[in-house]
Structure 1
Amino acid sequence: SANGTLTPNDPPVGEVPPDSAPRHFAFHPDGKHAYAINEADLSIDVFDYNADNGALTRTQVISTVPEGVDRTGYSTAEVVVHPSGKFVYGSNRGHDTIAAFKVNSANGQLTSIGQQAAGTIKVPRNFNIDPTGKFALVEGQETDNIVVFKINQETGVFEDTGVSISVGKPVCIRFMPLD
């Protein structure tokens, strides 16, 4: 509002499964879709987003780990949409992978590309993609490092560059303009 008062949307929330524990949320560059990564059930919720009234409508739930994986002690951490809007990624702690998904440009829904080992990283808590979309930096909370991956622009697959940076207990990576 004009005076800075916040007014809840109607409906005021996006519905998610009980005990899924949404952790992070990312919008697609088209402004019509959004993704929530669920810490407890190792999944990503896909939402249609109505910019006129702020409504979120869940259209898909997809696992971040392969079927049959023992999920005991595992959790997710971060969700990132590639700047091109063609891919969505989520980090799996314990499974120590980055789940990769191809985005359907018509409806925002996801198809699994697979889970990629995070290199030398144990517990990939946070990661980010550089603004050009060419590189992903993935941090290892328990390995005290950040690993740089090149992103294949056609397939979305992370390719190991061999670059690993020693950093004590990294927890968050952000790219900031220097101007």
Structure 2
Amino acid sequence: MATEELALVGTYTDGDSDGIYTVAVDGDGAVEQRSVTAAGDDPSFLAIHPSGEYCYAVNEVDDGGVTALEIDRATGELTRLNQIRTGGGADPCHCTVDATGQYLLVAHYTGGSVAMCPIAEDGQIGAPSDLVEHTGSGPNEERQEAAHPHSIQPGPDNEYAYVPDLGDDRIVGYELDLDHGKLVASDAATVELAAGSGPRHMAFDHDGEYAYLINELDSTVTVLERDADTGSLTVVDTAPTVADDYDGENITADIHVHPSGEWVFGSNRGHDSIATFAVDDGTVEFQGTVSTRGEWPRNFALTPDGETLLAENMDTNDVVAFDVDAATGELSATGAVTELPSPVCLQFL
């Protein structure tokens, strides 16, 4: 990374955190704190508006909500705009903005629902225009006693939204009705997954042909081929996120596609590592793991140029930088480690 990049870091505020941190990331991946903004309790997962002018943070609490903030694009400093209750129940854990910037999409883990919230011209967030409750369960009695939407991701053409539901082992698909602010259930865009897998986060490749899904409960990555006409997803490959001889406890968290399209990375909690996968025409090949040098990497981020990966170790309160080898995808620690309280989600501006 040749120049300094600004980023925002969402956190949990039940410890030493004061909210959302604005940071600068230099060419070596070193993270420097610039400012912090109060954004309600547990402003964990963040979404940046396509204009780059606004940020939205889920408040991952019992009476879950969303906080809207305006971004100073020169400094990355935040100004709070408004906060709403999303009405979807407890623990909204993920949000995204549709490509037009008209709506924020929110997944509620404990509440078992997804919401669609209008965004005003001044960036403020409105009460949900639609709220859909999920039903279902899975074989894991402790974790899959009910539906648990864990993320919501618009498709590459912004016609569909996809919701990995950890509780009932499905990606639930919706048509995005932007004219009426509705999530319209789509059987064609919904896909059943392996029982007990616990789908969590997904990322599309850059031409939208394939999606990569990380499964929390069985520590795997699933590749799905996407039909651009119908929005349907078809499972084409699966690979583990840890070596076969690992017998400890592990649950996965986050997944990202490298800007080159040649590599996919996923995070392991328990094993506390980043897994690397080589991508080849709908297949993924597990290349191995690298320790995150900390504990519980709930999320991680790639710099926009793909040269650096930043692992956010939630339980050890630090962000650790790794160089990404452009030829092999191999990760190597740069030595840059930055203390940040309970980092959960890092989004570049």
| TM-score greater than 0.5 by the shorter chain | yes
The one-character-per-residue Cα deviations of 1:11-46 (angstroms, maximum 9, x if unpaired) are 241221111111101001121000110000000110
Q: Does 1:83 align with 2:259?
A: yes
1:128 aligns to what?
A: 301
1:112 aligns to what?
A: 286
CA distance in 1 between counterparts of 2:308 and 2:189 reads 36
CA distance in 2 between counterparts of 1:23 and 1:5 reads 23
CA distance in 1 between counterparts of 2:180 and 2:297 reads 41
- Whether the 8 Å CA contact 1:15–1:58 is kept in 2: the answer is no
CA distance in 2 between counterparts of 1:167 and 1:5 reads 38
The residue type equivalent to 1:40 in the other structure is L
How far has the Cα of 1:137 moved from its partner? 0.7
What is the TM-score when the length of structure 2 is the normalising length? 0.48
> Percent identity of the aligned residues?
39
1:158 aligns to what?
A: 331
Q: Does 1:49 align with 2:226?
A: yes
CA distance in 2 between counterparts of 1:170 and 1:78 reads 13
The residue type equivalent to 2:306 in the other structure is G
The one-character-per-residue Cα deviations of 1:99-152 (angstroms, maximum 9, x if unpaired) are 100100xx221011111111x211111101011111111011111100111111
The residue type equivalent to 1:75 in the other structure is I
- Whether the 8 Å CA contact 1:128–1:137 is kept in 2: the answer is yes
The one-character-per-residue Cα deviations of 1:48-105 (angstroms, maximum 9, x if unpaired) are 0112111000011111010121143x1000011101111001101010111100100x
Q: What secondary structure sits across from 1:174 in the alignment?
A: strand
2:213 aligns to what?
A: 36
The residue type equivalent to 2:299 in the other structure is N
- Aligned CA-pair RMSD: 1.3
The residue type equivalent to 2:185 in the other structure is P
Q: What secondary structure sits across from 2:275 in the alignment?
A: strand
- Whether the 8 Å CA contact 2:189–2:230 is kept in 1: the answer is no
**CA 1:5–1:144 in 2, change beyond 3 Å: closer, same or farther?**
closer
Higher strand share: 2
Q: What secondary structure sits across from 2:188 in the alignment?
A: coil
- Whether the 8 Å CA contact 1:127–1:136 is kept in 2: the answer is yes
Deviates more, 1:4-13 or 1:42-51: 4-13
Give unpaired runs (5+ residues) of structure 1: none
Greater Cα radius of gyration, structure 1 or 2: 2
- Whether the 8 Å CA contact 1:10–1:53 is kept in 2: the answer is no
